[in-house]
Structure 1
Amino acid sequence: MQNKNKTVVKSMALLNLFLTEPKLTLSELISLSGMPKTSVHRMVSSLEEMGLLTRDRNGAYTLGLVFLEFGQLVSERLDIRQIAKPVMEELCQEVDEAVHLIMRDGNEAIYVEKIEGTQTVRLYTAIGRRSPLYAGACARSILSFLPQEEIETYIRQTEFVPIGSGTITDPAELLQTISSSLENGYTVSYSELENYTAAIGAPIFSHKGQVAAGISIAGFEARFTKERLPYLTEKVKGAALQISEKMGYKLPHTQ
């Protein structure tokens, strides 16, 4: 922290406000940031000059178009996303459910790709959305396959907050679920991030044998019946393995 430039850190804090708010006035930026008016005005002016912020005719600010350029570069350079997308599209056609690809970012999971099914009602998920690692099948498919010591540290340091009616907030229950995921190679969730929805997630491994991402199929709970679950489970596990192998991963017995 001592080596960080304070102005850069504060400017980033201002930009982070736009993650949840599409448009903010100068007064709102001052209020939400808790920073002095003169500091906010100076930083906002610089951010606008660099194209990181854009001001409309009413004086409200939005993120600048330069973020689209950076976002496109990031997307293009995420090799795993390029590798996974064709497999995800095929999986989506087979099961007709939404298919998600997520990656870990600290103690969170971030959605980096999504393929929609043909269902008329859409899930509230989108590329760029974040979720805690403990909530939802896709995120937990990453958490479950981290080194045991890392899992224990995460659970010890995390405050578990309910998001949906089925969110697991008890550490003991979470550990039990993780144990089952390790044994079965997948994890299932019901109403954890959004009520009346279900998901099945499986881990994607790198050529080093480390969990690199997670893939899931998700839809409304009524479609994830007991009879259909084995079929969906095998499909998502197969897709996860296919992507893993394309990344150079080899099953232990073939190494």
Structure 2
Amino acid sequence: MEKETQPEIVSSVLKVFSILEMLSEQKSIGITELSQRIMMSKSTTYRFLQTMKTLGFVFQEGETDKYGLTLKLFEIGAKPLEYLDLISIANKEMLFIAEQTGEAVHLGTLEDNEIIYLHKIDSSYALRMYSRIGRRNPLYSTAIGKVLLSSYNNDEIRTMLENVTFVRHTDKTLENIDLLECEIEKVRQQHYAEDNEEQEAGLRCIATPIYDRFGQIIAGISISLPTIRFKEENLPHLVKLLQHSSQRISQQLGYYHYPKINL
């Protein structure tokens, strides 16, 4: 069944991109002219345009038969550029933190219902955590994940994680959404998050949020270190180090009201 429908699916995709390319060459165009240029029947062209209009990629000029592109494609295409800008800006601060601590520093953001690592600076120590750019981890058991969740209300968090199974990676992993909500409330109040051996035994992580120009948390940076090198009395220093770097990154992204952390 799949083999029979596949050519039709591929053909439809080609038709959609043909329409998009033609619409990109001018502000608007009528169905008749468009169908002639892409060598497609007028009725078929109309059906595609109406679907694309419903999805928000195409606009129709009033009651005429002229159509044009909206900015939705631009919006989608610009998202990877935001990550490139974020990585470029964050890199300097992450290098600074790594130089000050010798520990691994990560930059992560939200992707579906997981955290994905966008950038990392390795620890200078021989004993270090395993991680890689592009790796995904759960939101509920990571410091960056908790920071990202803190920008959502509890109902939104429950919806986001409704199909997520709380796997106990260690005996300290949060077991359910109720425990996570309590933890996230704490994160909202203190403006930083911790992973106390919840994702990996013997590993501590601390993370702070990065805001975009609209005041939305779009990412987090974290310090990760083995428990044998972690001292509780050093926590305020590590948090402030992260907070100051996150504040500078947020300012470069256009946000100037970074919350103060009282430790």
Does TM, scored on the shorter chain, surpass 0.5? yes
Which of 174, 183, 190 is equivalent to 2:180?
A: 174
SS in 1 for 2:220: strand
1:1-255 matches, within 5 Å, as: 78-251=84-257
SS in 1 for 2:218: strand
TM-score (norm: length of structure 1): 0.67
**Percent of aligned positions with the same letter in both sequences?**
32
Name the aligned partner's letter for residue 90 of structure 1.
Answer: F
Q: Give the Cα–Cα distance (whole angstroms) in 1 for the partners of residues 240 and 152 of structure 2.
A: 22
Q: Give the Cα–Cα distance (whole angstroms) in 1 for the partners of residues 212 and 6 of structure 2.
A: 36
SS in 2 for 1:251: coil
Q: Give the Cα–Cα distance (whole angstroms) in 1 for the partners of residues 212 and 188 of structure 2.
A: 17
SS in 2 for 1:233: helix
Name the aligned partner's letter for residue 193 of structure 2.
Answer: T
Question: Could you tell which deviates more after superposition, 165-174 or 149-158?
Answer: 149-158
Name the aligned partner's letter for residue 236 of structure 2.
Answer: P
SS in 2 for 1:78: helix
Change (3 A) 1:7 1:247: farther
Q: Give the Cα–Cα distance (whole angstroms) in 2 for the partners of residues 96 and 114 of structure 1.
A: 13
Change (3 A) 1:153 1:222: same
Equivalenced residues, count: 185
CA contact (8 A) 1:146 1:211 kept: no
CA contact (8 A) 1:141 1:203 kept: yes
Change (3 A) 1:87 1:152: same
Change (3 A) 1:113 1:208: same
Q: Give the Cα–Cα distance (whole angstroms) in 2 for the partners of residues 161 and 109 of structure 1.
A: 15
Question: Could you tell which deviates more after superposition, 236-245 or 157-166?
Answer: 157-166
Query: 1:45 maps to which residue?
Result: none
Name the aligned partner's letter for residue 223 of structure 1.
Answer: R
Q: CA deviation at 1:195?
A: 1.0
Q: Give the Cα–Cα distance (whole angstroms) in 2 for the partners of residues 103 and 223 of structure 1.
A: 26
SS in 1 for 2:249: helix
Q: CA deviation at 1:242?
A: 1.3
Change (3 A) 1:242 1:7: farther
SS in 1 for 2:209: strand
Change (3 A) 1:157 1:247: same
Instruction: Quote the RMSD (CA, aligned, Å).
Output: 2.4
CA contact (8 A) 2:250 2:258 kept: no
CA contact (8 A) 2:102 2:124 kept: yes
Q: Give the Cα–Cα distance (whole angstroms) in 2 for the partners of residues 161 and 207 of structure 1.
A: 35
CA deviation string 1:41-82 (max 9, x = no partner): xxxxxxxxxxxxxxxxxxxxxxxxxxxxxxxxx699621111
SS in 2 for 1:126: coil
Change (3 A) 1:198 1:211: same
Q: Give the Cα–Cα distance (whole angstroms) in 1 for the partners of residues 8 and 234 of structure 2.
A: 51
TM-score (norm: length of structure 2): 0.65
Q: CA deviation at 1:252?
A: 7.1
CA contact (8 A) 2:158 2:177 kept: no
Query: 2:23 maps to which residue?
Result: none
SS in 1 for 2:125: coil
Q: Give the Cα–Cα distance (whole angstroms) in 2 for the partners of residues 147 and 8 of structure 1.
A: 43
CA deviation string 1:78-133 (max 9, x = no partner): 21111100010001111221000001111011111110121111211111110111
Change (3 A) 1:247 1:166: same
SS in 1 for 2:148: helix
CA contact (8 A) 2:208 2:242 kept: yes
Q: Give the Cα–Cα distance (whole angstroms) in 2 for the partners of residues 187 and 155 of structure 1.
A: 18
